[in-house]
């Protein structure tokens, strides 16, 4: 395991790279956490572990304002995450051992995967959004965020989630400009969506809808599971591993 930073325009992004045994060339899967998440959450570490087991290099990264990366949580926006991930993709493409590139992300990281796939449709062999929170732009336009009603025009300078996480209103301003359907349309490669049907944070129906909208998507439903796959983590990772194995055999 190698631990280091990838720099995006002066912002240091914390990264951990795990390599499989064997040959000298491997496919690589980039794995990213969600809103308030980090690379040590079990659904992230286990996804990396099964990818390595399947013969992939696994690059876990933390985005602006999360984990041990630079930036304050309060100031993170999806534009910053998009910029961060473009830098990570460029870094990964230039590693000399990398054959094909894959992109996997959970929740807000799953939304990020969907946006980046549309922006770089020729760069990925396949992408894997897990419980993708792709309703964030839509609900931000309607005037809702994290279950709280907001005025979508007179956006507050700052808002607080559960009296805990303070977030700049710029988060909402940015989210309102994103049109995920356009980016779904632009990516024609293979997609695996994994979603628990008892997700308490991102309604399961969004996973179903995204799978319908993509031209080449498979949806794996984890029955009785939550947003972070607390009940059947092994079923989520088995679905990801099976999908990844299809590209190496
Ligand atoms: C929201 C619903 C879900 C939201 C974020 C999420 C910021 C993301 C959750 C996650 O990444 O785990 O309204 O607003």
- E strands of 86-125, at which residues? 98-106
Task: Return d(Cα 66, Cα 61) in angstroms, integer.
Answer: 10
Residue 221: its pLDDT value, please?
A: 98
Atom of ligand 1 nearest to the CA of 228: 12
Does the C-beta of 201 come closer than 6 Å to ligand 1?
Answer: yes
Angle 108-119/78-93 helices, nearest 10 degrees?
60
Does the C-beta of 150 come closer than 6 Å to ligand 1?
Answer: no
Q: Is residue 13 within 8 Å of 61, Cβ to Cβ?
A: yes
Among the ranges given (101-115, 126-140, 142-156), the one the predictor scored with the smallest mean pLDDT: 142-156
Phi and psi, residue 145, nearest 5°: -150, 130
Residue 148: its pLDDT value, please?
A: 87
Atom of ligand 1 nearest to the CA of 145: 13
Compute the average pLDDT of residues 196-224: 98
Atom of ligand 1 nearest to the CA of 139: 13
User: Is the pLDDT reported for residue 200 higher than 90?
Assistant: yes
Among the ranges given (39-48, 141-150, 196-205), the one the predictor scored with the smallest mean pLDDT: 141-150
Q: Is residue 111 within 8 Å of 134, Cβ to Cβ?
A: yes
Residue 22: its pLDDT value, please?
A: 79
- E strands of 93-190, at which residues? 98-106, 126-130, 144-145, 148-149, 158-161, 165-168
Residue 86: its pLDDT value, please?
A: 98
Tell me the CA–centroid distance for residue 74 and ligand 1, in Å.
14
User: Is the pLDDT reported for residue 104 higher than 80?
Assistant: yes
* Probe target for ligand 1 pocket from 112, 115, 202, with the most ligand atoms within 8 Å of CB: 202
Residue 163: its pLDDT value, please?
A: 76
E strand or H helix that includes residue 222: strand 217-222
Residue 147: its pLDDT value, please?
A: 84
Residue 58 banded pLDDT, cuts 50, 70, 90: very high
Residue 162: its pLDDT value, please?
A: 75
Per-chain mean pLDDT for the chain? 97
* Probe target for ligand 1 pocket from 31, 34, 35, with the most ligand atoms within 8 Å of CB: 35
Residue 85 or residue 150, greater confidence: 85
């Amino acid at each position: 395991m190698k631990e280091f930073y990838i720099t995006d325009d002066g912002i240091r992004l914390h990264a951990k790279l795990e390599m499989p045994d064997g040959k000298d060339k491997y496919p690589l899967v980039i794995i990213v956490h969600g809103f308030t998440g980090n690379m040590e959450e079990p659904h992230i570490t286990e996804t990396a572990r099964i990818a390595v087991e399947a013969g992939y290099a696994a690059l876990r990264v933390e985005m602006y304002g999360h984990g041990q990366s630079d930036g304050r949580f309060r100031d993170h926006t999806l534009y910053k995450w998009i910029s961060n991930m473009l830098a990570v993709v460029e870094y990964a493409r230039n590693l000399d051992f990398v054959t094909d590139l894959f992109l996997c992300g959970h929740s807000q990281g799953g939304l990020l995967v969907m946006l980046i796939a549309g922006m770089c449709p020729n760069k990925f062999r396949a992408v894997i959004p897990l419980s993708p929170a792709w309703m964030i732009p839509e609900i931000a336009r309607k005037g809702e965020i994290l279950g709280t009603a907001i005025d979508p025009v007179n956006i507050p300078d700052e808002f607080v989630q559960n009296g805990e996480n303070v977030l700049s209103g710029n988060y909402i301003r940015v989210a309102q400009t994103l049109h995920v359907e356009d980016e779904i349309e632009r990516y024609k490669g293979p997609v695996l969506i994994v979603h628990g049907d008892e997700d308490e944070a991102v309604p399961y129906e969004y996973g179903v809808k995204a799978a319908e909208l993509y031209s080449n998507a498979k949806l794996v439903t984890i029955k009785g599971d939550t947003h972070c796959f607390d009940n059947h983590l092994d079923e989520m990772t088995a679905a990801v591993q099976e999908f990844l194995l299809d590209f190496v055999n």
